[in-house]
C-alpha cells in the first residue's frame, strides 16, 4: 500500500485536511494583520522582523558609548577609558556613558536616558524578549546604574556612574555630581576616549549651588529603574527607591536650575525650567511607591502652577511635561470606576492634556502639527529626529493604553480616532528613520544598506591603532568615511526640506546622542511585537 510520511492513504488525507485548515486560519490572521492599510499591529507574540532587527542595531550604540573598564566588550575598536574619572574627589566615576560624539558625561541627559530605557523595559520588556533583545537593554541599563566603587563619601547624595544606589545616602546630603569633563576643553580636542589625557574636572550641585532639574531627573531614573529591578532583586530595587526619594526631597527643597547655577553650561544643554522635572520625578515616584503624596504633588498646586495643563507640548530631554501627562494618564486609563484616583480632578487635567498631545501628532487631526513633505514631524532644526521619535514613542504607549483599557476612541476637535491611528503615526516616524524618506537613507547607523558614513563621533572617526593626542583634527576634517562604524547611532536627522548632508562637521545633523538611542529603543520596542500592557507598573 502507498505510504505518506509513514501513514496510510487515509492518514495522508487527514494530514492534508489539517494542513488546509491551518493555512486557512493563517490566511485569516494575515488578512486581519494587513487590513486597514498595512501592518498596524503585528501578530501577537511574534516579533516584526524589521523592527526587531532595527532594535538589535539601536541597542548596540550603548556598547559604543560605554566608559570605564569594559566587560565583555562587543565593539572591537573600543577599549577602556576614563578610568580616573572622579579620582580628584576620591570617587570612582569611571563607568557611565559618553553623552554624544564627544567625551562628556552629562548627568542631566544621562539620567534621562536611564529613565527612558527603564520606561521602555517596563512597558515593552515582553516585546524586547520576543525580539531577543531584553538582555541587551538590561545590560545598558545596568551599566548606567552600577559602579565598581565601594567607598562612601560622607556627604554624597549619589555617586559613581551617576546612578549607583549602593552608596548609603545620609539625610544631610550636600551635593551630587552633575557632569565629568570640561566641555570647552573637550570640544577643542578630537581624539579617541581611550587616549585622552586632558583633565576631567567634576562639577557638582550642592545646597548652595542647586540643580533641581538634574537631581529630580536622577530621582526619576532611579524610581523607574527600581520598578525594573523589583522582580529581580528586591534589595537593589529598594536601595534605588530610597535614593530616588532622598534625591527628590533634595531637588524640591533646594530649588534652582543647574544652568543658572553654572551658566557656562547653557551653551550645551540649557535647561529652560526645573519644575517639569519635579513633576516628572513625582509621577515616577508615585508609580514606584504607590504613595499618594507624590500623586498629590503632581496633580495639586504644583501641577496647576508648573504643568501648563491644557497646552500640548513636545517631549524631550529638556521638557518632560508631555511624558508626565502620558505617564499619569496611565493611572486614569486603569483606575477603578468610582475610586478616589479616578475622581481626581488634577489627574483628569493630565489625561485631557495627554489627549491634546496625541491630537497634534495625528496627521488627520485639525490640530495636527507641521510635517515635512516626506512625513516627518518637524519641531527643531538641531537634532531634528529627537522630537518625532519621542512623540512616536508616546503615541505607541498611548495607543496600547487605549487598547488595553478598552477605550475605543480619541476625540480631536470633533473627529474620532482609534488606537490604530496612533500606532500608524508611530510607525510612520519609525519607518522614516529607517529609510522610508526622500533621501532613501537610514538615519540609524548600521541598519539597512544606506546610512551616514561620516557620523560626528570622535571614536568612530579615528582608527583604533592611532593616538592623535588632542590634535586629531585631520580625522575630523577628512572627507573619507569613518574607519569605524558607530553601530546603532541615531544621528540628528534631516532639515525641514527632508535633506541631509553627510559631513562630519555638520554637527546639527550628523551627531548622535545616547538619549536619542533610548528614545528609538523605546519606539522600536513598542512596534516590534504586541503584548498585553500591564495595568500597573509596580
∠ CA 147-149-155, rounded to 5°: 105
Alpha-carbon span 299 to 281, nearest angstrom: 13
**Which residue reads 552608596 in cell numbers?**
167
Residue 457 annotated to the active site: no
- In order of 138, 291, 363, 521, the CA distances from 239 in angstroms are 18, 17, 44, 26
**Annotated catalytic residue within 287, 387, 456, 457:** 456
Q: How many helices (H) and strands (E) does the chain have?
A: 20, 5
The residue among 172, 173, 180 whose CA lies nearest residue 158 is 173
Alpha-carbon span 26 to 357, nearest angstrom: 37
Helices 275-289 & 234-253 angle (0-180, nearest 10): 150
Count Cα neighbours of 214 within 13 Å in the Cβ-side half-sphere.
32
**Which residue reads 585631520 in cell numbers?**
474
Q: Taking phi first (over 0 means left), then psi (-120 to 50 degrees means alpha), and beta for anything else, what does residue 511 get?
A: beta
Q: Give DSSP secondary structure letters for 274-316.
A: SHHHHHHHHHHHHHHH--HHHHHHHHSHHHHHHS-TTS-----
Alpha-carbon span 136 to 72, nearest angstrom: 12
Report which secondary-structure segment, H or E, holds 412: strand 410-412
494: CB partners within 8 A, 6+ apart: 372, 374, 376, 384, 385, 437, 439, 443, 500, 509
343: CB partners within 8 A, 6+ apart: none
Alpha-carbon span 45 to 131, nearest angstrom: 10
The residue among 162, 141, 151 whose CA lies nearest residue 205 is 162
Helices 419-433 & 345-361 angle (0-180, nearest 10): 50
Whether residue 446 contacts residue 439, with contact meaning beta carbons closer than 8 Å, is answered with no
Give the active site residues.
456
Amino acid at each position: 500500500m502507498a505510504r505518506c510520511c509513514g501513514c496510510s492513504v487515509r492518514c495522508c488525507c487527514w494530514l492534508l485536511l489539517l494542513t488546509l485548515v491551518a493555512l486557512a486560519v493563517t490566511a485569516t490572521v494575515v488578512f486581519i494583520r494587513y487590513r486597514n492599510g498595512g501592518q498596524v499591529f503585528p501578530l501577537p507574540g511574534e516579533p516584526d522582523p524589521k523592527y526587531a532587527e532595527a532594535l538589535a542595531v539601536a541597542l548596540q550604540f550603548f556598547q559604543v558609548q560605554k566608559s570605564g573598564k569594559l566587560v565583555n566588550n562587543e565593539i572591537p575598536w573600543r577599549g577602556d577609558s576614563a578610568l580616573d574619572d572622579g579620582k580628584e574627589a576620591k570617587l570612582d566615576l569611571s563607568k557611565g556613558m559618553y553623552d554624544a560624539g564627544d567625551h562628556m558625561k552629562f548627568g542631566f541627559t544621562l539620567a534621562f536616558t536611564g529613565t527612558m530605557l527603564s520606561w521602555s523595559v517596563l512597558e515593552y520588556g515582553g516585546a524586547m524578549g520576543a525580539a531577543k533583545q531584553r538582555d541587551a537593554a538590561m545590560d545598558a541599563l545596568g551599566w548606567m546604574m552600577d559602579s565598581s566603587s565601594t567607598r562612601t563619601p560622607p556627604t554624597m547624595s549619589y555617586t559613581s556612574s551617576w546612578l549607583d544606589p549602593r552608596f548609603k545616602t545620609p539625610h544631610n546630603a550636600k551635593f551630587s555630581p552633575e557632569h565629568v569633563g570640561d566641555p570647552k576643553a573637550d570640544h577643542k580636542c578630537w581624539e579617541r576616549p581611550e587616549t585622552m589625557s586632558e583633565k576631567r574636572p567634576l562639577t557638582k550641585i550642592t545646597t548652595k549651588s542647586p540643580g533641581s532639574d538634574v537631581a529630580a531627573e536622577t530621582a526619576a531614573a532611579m524610581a523607574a529603574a527600581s520598578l525594573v529591578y523589583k522582580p529581580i532583586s528586591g534589595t537593589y530595587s529598594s536601595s534605588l527607591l530610597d535614593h530616588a526619594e532622598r534625591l527628590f526631597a533634595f531637588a524640591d527643597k533646594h530649588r534652582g536650575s543647574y544652568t543658572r547655577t553654572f551658566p557656562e553650561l547653557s551653551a550645551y544643554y540649557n535647561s529652560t525650567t526645573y519644575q517639569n522635572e519635579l513633576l516628572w520625578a513625582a509621577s515616577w515616584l508615585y508609580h514606584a511607591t504607590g504613595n499618594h503624596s507624590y500623586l498629590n504633588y503632581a496633580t495639586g498646586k504644583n501641577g496647576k502652577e508648573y504643568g501648563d495643563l491644557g497646552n500640548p507640548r513636545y517631549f524631550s530631554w529638556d521638557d518632560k511635561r508631555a511624558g508626565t501627562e502620558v505617564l499619569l494618564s496611565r493611572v486614569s486609563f486603569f483606575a477603578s470606576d468610582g475610586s478616589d484616583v479616578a475622581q481626581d480632578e488634577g489627574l483628569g487635567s493630565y489625561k485631557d492634556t495627554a489627549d491634546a498631545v496625541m491630537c497634534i501628532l495625528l496627521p488627520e487631526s485639525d490640530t495636527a502639527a507641521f510635517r515635512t513633505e516626506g512625513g516627518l514631524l518637524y519641531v527643531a532644526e538641531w537634532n531634528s529626529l529627537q522630537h518625532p521619535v519621542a512623540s512616536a514613542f508616546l503615541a505607541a504607549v498611548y495607543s496600547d493604553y487605549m487598547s488595553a483599557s478598552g477605550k475605543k476612541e480619541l476625540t480631536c476637535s470633533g473627529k474620532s480616532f482609534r488606537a490604530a491611528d496612533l500606532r500608524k503615526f508611530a510607525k510612520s516616524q519609525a519607518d522614516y528613520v529607517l529609510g522610508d524618506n526622500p533621501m532613501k537613507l537610514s538615519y540609524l547607523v548600521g541598519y539597512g544598506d544606506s546610512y551616514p558614513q561620516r557620523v560626528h563621533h570622535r571614536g568612530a572617526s579615528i582608527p583604533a591603532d592611532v593616538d592623535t593626542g588632542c590634535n586629531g583634527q585631520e580625522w575630523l576634517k577628512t572627507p573619507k568615511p569613518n574607519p569605524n562604524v558607530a553601530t546603532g547611532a541615531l544621528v540628528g536627522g534631516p532639515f525641514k526640506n527632508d535633506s541631509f548632508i553627510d559631513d562630519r562637521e555638520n554637527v546639527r545633523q550628523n551627531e548622535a546622542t545616547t538619549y536619542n538611542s533610548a528614545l528609538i529603543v523605546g519606539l522600536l520596542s513598542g512596534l516590534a511585537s504586541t503584548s498585553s500592557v500591564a495595568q500597573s507598573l509596580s
